[in-house]
Every structure is written in C-alpha cells, then in structure tokens.
Structure 1
Amino acid sequence: MKRLVVVLCVWALGLAGVLTSVVLPVGAAAAMAVTTPGGFASLAPFRLLDTRSGVGAAKVAVAAGGTVHLQVTGRGGVPASGVSAVVLNVTVTAPTSAGFVTVYGDGSVLPTASNLNFVKGQTVPNLVIAPVGTNGKVDLYNGSGGTVQLIGDVSGYYLAGAPTVAGAFGSLAPARLLDTRTGVGAPKVAVAASGTVHLQVTGRGGVPASGVSAVVLNVTVTAPTAPGFVTVYGDGSVLPTASSLNFVAGQTIPNMVLVKLGPGGTVTFYNAAGTVNVIADLVGYYQPGTGAGFTGTAPARVLDTRSGLGAPKAKLGAGRTLTLTVPGLPAGATAVALNVTVTGPTAASYLSVYPGGTTRPTASSLNFVAAQTIPNMVLVKLGPGGTVTFYNAAGTVNVIADLVGYYAP
C-alpha cells in the first residue's frame, strides 16, 4: 500500500534478531535438489542483505526514493542460475519518516504494490516472494521521504520455467487485485464488522483462468476502527478459526498469505470487528495437485500455547524454545507454510522459526514490543520427524501457528 499516513505502534529498535548478521557454514544452506519448473527448495535462513553492516550492499541507509539492487543467485544456497523467485524475510529498521518498501525483480518496472509499510522509528518484517531479474538480482525500493536500513534473509527459492506439474509455482510481477479504498476488485467501501469480501483471482494479474489451486497475496489492512483480525480463505468453504492478520484501531499492517482458491477461482476476506479497508497484491500462483511444490490446505491451527495445542499450556520463556511436530503432513513433506502470531509478550523481543534439530540461526521471523499482537508468514524447512522449532529471545510470549500448506518433492 502506498501514500498513506499510517498510525502504528512503534517497534523496538536494537533487537538482536535483526541486528546480527547470519554466518552459516556452506552445508547449512544446502537444499534438497529440485528439478521441476516452479518447484520449491527450502533453505536454512541466511542473511543476504544488511545495509547497517554492508552485507550485500553499501554500508549506508537507503536514501528517500533510493533502490538497492541485491544479488541473490549464487549466494546463501540459491543456485547461480535457473531461479524464478526467492523467499525473503525483509525487515526495515530505523526509518526517519513514514513510508513503504517495494520488492521486485531487477530490470522490471517499479510496481504500484508495496510489501512493507512503516512509520518513523519502526522496525517491521514481512515475508516476501520476490521475482528474480534476468541478472539474478532483486530490487528493494524505499518509498519514504527519509532514509531506512534494510535487512533481507533468504529461506528458499523457486525454479524458473512454466509451471506445468502439480504443486509448481508461477512467479508474477506484483499486481494489485483488491483495494476497498478505491473500488479495485470490490465496492469502494470499508468492510463492515463480520463482513466478507469475495475476490475474483483467476484470470487477473497474470493468473491463468483455470488450473490454479492456490495464490500468494500480500494483504494489508488500514484504517481499522476497532481491534480485530482478518481471515483469508477459499471462497465457498467454512470460515476457519485461523486468522491471517491481527490489528488494533488505527493500525496499518501487512502480511503475506498463501490461500487455497475456492470454486471459480475466488478468495474470501472476513473482517471480525469494526470497519476496515483491505488491500491485496498478487505475488504468484500454484498449480493444482500434490507434488513438485506447494499444496494449499484450509487454514488449520496446529500450535497455541494459550490453550495447550501442540505444546504445553504456558508462555514461551526468555531464551527458550519449543519444538512442534507438525500434524497432518504426508510422507516426504520437506517444508511448511505457517502463519505465525505472537500475542501477550511481556517485553520487546523477536521470534526465530527454524527446522527442528538444527542450529538456531540469528535471523528473526517476527519482531515485536511488549503487549503487541503481530503475525508473519513463515516458510520453514522441516526437521527430522516433521518438526519445527520456535525460539523466543526475551520476556514471555504466547505463540500461535496456523498451517496453510506444505511442500513436497
């Protein structure tokens, strides 16, 4: 979302999860070999960009209207060629004014879609599936009137080529499919409490008219009049208990959503309370069926430390971990897509999500301040036995995770 005056809770600065560069041995970044066009390969999180320390770009804050041209192929386990898109957890920190960041393929036209929105002094992450330019680079554009520091951690990539087999991914240039402020994709009106928006996705923005199982959307809510949440799910299915974004009154917040399509290629957005404007930018799509890549599922809650689901009924302590055995996965699953939410934190901190049984990376998945509820989509490689580990750096916090799909060879 662009050109908005946003009112957000100010995030804590100086969090170790975004301030420390990742240094991993070469073997730690190795992924399972994939050969199918559109197939996904998960990687151990690896820091490709940090403008504060000069990793991947000059050691200087990005100027207003400035662009970082980041080399992604041939680094952190990403092959030197044959890659269509990469999965990056992008974090902005120390912005000197409110603005946005747009991530897109180098050499292409700057899209109108945005990936992160922030206010002065805020630290905020969002997961991004970024198309890769023909030269193996990704551009990060600073759309604010001030300077900002940028961090990028890679956690996977998609192979280039037209997706033709089940589960393969089709990367697209970002395109806005929904904006209730302007009437794009839905009536020009804020979504009412308990209201829904039914969005046609197939046949728009480069998505084929048929033969699509799921899509990747960067969803942003703005100007909510009350605390609440938005749930995004396949049209025609039962409203799940999982949420996609949580927010407070007056907040503007994005999150990436991987959502299974309903009949006719439609997606439903449900608003729990108050009124809110909703924006959705298309990132890509998946072929139907199981195999080669991603299989979308109806959102299902697999972890909630508030109720004892998937882990003991207790907050995750400072410097502590919990390991989740992800339920309901087929044999051979290699990675999962989880919408992870933290709530009720007692201190500013960060959460790292990584494969069970592996060394904890210094990359972070979510950053938050005391009392904040915040989600972020995480694509994480599975550890032995289908496990994923969650690490909390400081204070205590409740952790929730909703499974939205899995990857299999």
Structure 2
Amino acid sequence: MQANCLTWSRRAAQLLLLVLISQPAPALSQTAAVCPIPNLPSPVSFCWDECMRHCGEVVSCVSDKGYYYDSFGCAGCASYDLKVKTNDDGLAIVVPGEVLTYTIEVVNFGITAVAGARVLDPFPLQAVVWTCVGDGGASCTGSGSGDISDTVTLPVGGRVTYTATGTVPLVAAGTLSNTASVTAPQGVTDPDLGNNSITDVDVVGGPQEALGFFTLAPCRLVDTRGHNWPPLWAQHTRAFPVIDPYPYPYGAYCDTIPSDAKALSLNVAVTEPTSAGNVRLFPAGQCVPNVSTVNYQAGETRSSNAVVPLNASAEFSIFDGQPTGTVHLIIDVTGYFR
C-alpha cells in the first residue's frame, strides 16, 4: 500500500469509498504528485480530474484537490486527452451590432505532452481580433485577426486561453452559435472526442425587442428514462411542447413557463447512449442545425447548458445525431426569455 492509495477489487474499493467520504480530505499540494501508482507519471493532478472516464482498474485515492474518488483505471489514464474547457461570451441575449468577447480555453488532460494540436473557431462575428496566452508551458500564437486556426503545444496539464472580440452582424437573427474545437495532430489518437469542442449559443434579439431573462427554480421538463417512454432514436427528430406539455411519461409539468416565452434556458443531459453521437436542439419546424448541443461517446452520461429558441407554438425539437441506436434524454428548465 502506498500513501492514500489502495488497489483493490471494485466492490472493496466502493465499500472503502463509503468510509473515506465521511472523513475530511487532507489539504494536498496542487502541484505535487499524489497517489503515485506505478506507470502513472508525475504530476498526475490532471489525470485525476478525468479519472472517472479513463478506467479499467479500481483505485481509491485522494486527489490533489482534496476529493476522494472511486476510480476505475487511474493507472491506465489515456495518454492523450485534449479538451475545450471553456467557450463563453458571458451573455445569453445579444443584439445586432453589439460587441462581444469570447473566452476560449483549451487544456491537455492526458498524461502525454502534445505538440501540433489545432485549435479552430470560425466566429459568427465581424471584425474579430484575438489574443492568446499559454500556461503551464503551453504555447500558441500571441495574437491574430479573423477566425482562429492555430497550432499549439500543450504539455501535460498545460492550457492556452484565447480572448476574441468582434461585432454581431447587423443581419443576425434567431440564434448566434460559436463553436471552438481542438484536434490532435497526425499520429496522435485522442480516445475521447466528446470533449474536443464546445458551442456557445445566444439568442439574437432585435433592437426593438430587448428580451428579458426570468430565472426559474429548476423544473424537469423531459425525462425519457423509466416511464415507458422510448428514448431518442438515431437520425430522428422529436418535438417537445413547452406549454401544457405531455404529462409523464415525458416529464414533469413545468407550469411556470408563460405562453409568450421566446426561448428557454436549459440543462440538457444524455445518458445510456448505445453509440457515439450528439443531440441538437432547435425551434420546432425549422431545419436541423449543424451545431450540436451535447456530444457523447457510447455509454457516457454528459450534460450541457443551452439556450433554445421556441417556435410560435412554444415548441422545440431535438435531433438525435447518432448513426445507430438510442439515447435517453433529461431536460431541466432553469429560466426563460420573453
């Protein structure tokens, strides 16, 4: 046994975790290696952050942030795991002609350095200028204009942060979507592509229709699990009414959403996907967009916040972008625009 680290059977580790979580976690250094399991290089702090997804061997340990994990396969963390951690302009509603600033953060969560990764962001803005800074030994192009198409170097735990400023086009309408992504260089295999991009979506309000945002206590609008209602099917679209929605088996009745709501603020979660894919939310009756709301791999549970405009009948639709199979959907409403 090594300090704060045990390698046991799955059941033993789960039982141990029940004991561990009742104890206060020690204050460990955020830079020192912790749980020095064989074959796991130092430092391992970023490996622990992603440990829950990269597992095959049961290990119960204390992370460098002081949390206990019941992790499966920390000793086999993925060598490469590039991730877009942040893509946000800090707004939910924008108007044509407004100046926006996006913050895009890309991190190497794997245990092997990556040189030559590509960061891309085709902005929906005009007159974009951007700067970039590296942290933890990471490097990127210091500044540029227009879309981001940058080659970066990311050591283990390294990150690059872009700050981009531009103007919303005067002809913008509906929603404004910005997708930032990172791709591994040739010869490098990133086993988890579900975290390689993030899309920020804002509602575009006209100059005469400044929409207000109203917060709600989270209300579960949709839950396809365990209520004799089918999951989403691959390559199919399903519409969901917001006003007077279907009672269970769809979900709970969210009676606090007004009939004149123009858009919803949602937390969208997927679970039990039988294959890798994505779901896309959009106003019912419109064409399926190319921008996804949540990306996932087979068997993953993932979630994302989204702002989804409604059609004139207060409905939105969801397209399941899997090539085959099904996925369950859970949606909570956290607010609305009108």
Q: TM-score range by the shorter chain?
A: 0.3 to 0.5
User: Greater Rg, structure 1 or structure 2?
Assistant: 2
Q: Which gives a bigger RCO, structure 1 or 2 (Cα 8 Å, sep 6+)?
A: 1
Structure 1 or 2: more helix by fraction:
2
What TM-score results when the alignment is normalised by the length of structure 2?
0.47
